Structures are given as structure tokens and as C-alpha cells.
Structure 1
Amino acid sequence: MTEPDLSHAVWRKSSHSGSGEGECVEVARADRLVAVRDSKNPNGPMLTVTPTEWHTLLTSIKHGDFG
């Protein structure tokens, strides 16, 4: 699988990311994927998922499925 082109991605920080607490997540749409990265390490590894997988993850989090 080839890497998605993120050169024009617009990254958004989660509204739940704390200011100065070190737990910041950024999300961007790219090449029919959703990319997620740690805002403290923007050149580090990122997770890419389909929009359907992203929606499923967010729904699970909102329902408290992860504790």
C-alpha cells in the first residue's frame, strides 16, 4: 500500500485535547482516508483509516466501549 499524499492536508486538533497537557491528537482527510497523528510529533507515525472505520471508532468512544 502506498503512503497517502498528506502534503495539502489540513490538520485539526481535537477539541478534547488539553492545552499544555501533552495529550493532543490531530486529524486530517487525505486520499479517501482519515489520518490521525500526535500533534507533538507531526513527522512521526500516523494512523490511517477509512471514513467508515473512523466513524465506527468515534461512535464506540462516545458510547464508552473502551472503558
Structure 2
Amino acid sequence: MQDSELDAVYTRLCKTMTEVGADRSPLFLARFAMLAIIELGEPALAMRLIDAAADGNTDQTGEPL
């Protein structure tokens, strides 16, 4: 994914979260995460990304800093 594509996707994500509202954003993000996990189709990759997100120590590709 190119930087411009990543920016467009992130912008869409943020805009959608604003549209669904603060009270529904956690549910939206949980549903989005489940759909993304299904699309990944790789349990080990999904686990690494979950751990990386919790740690906050990764770059935008999910690789450790």
C-alpha cells in the first residue's frame, strides 16, 4: 500500500468513526477488526498485529520499531 492509499484509508476510517458517533465507535472498531481478521486469513499474523497494537511499538506496516 502506498502512503497516499494508507492516508486515504485512514481518513475514511476516521471520518466513518465521526459519522457513527463516539458512543458507537468502539463497536464499529470491533466489527472492523473482526472483518479485517477474517480477510487476513492468517491467525499468526492477526495475533502479531494485536500484540503490536497493544504495545504501540510498531511502524505503519506492523513491523517492530
The bucket for the TM-score relative to the shorter chain is 0.3 to 0.5
Give TM-score scaled by structure 2 length: 0.36
Q: TM-score, normalised by structure 1?
A: 0.35
Q: Which has the higher strand share?
A: 1
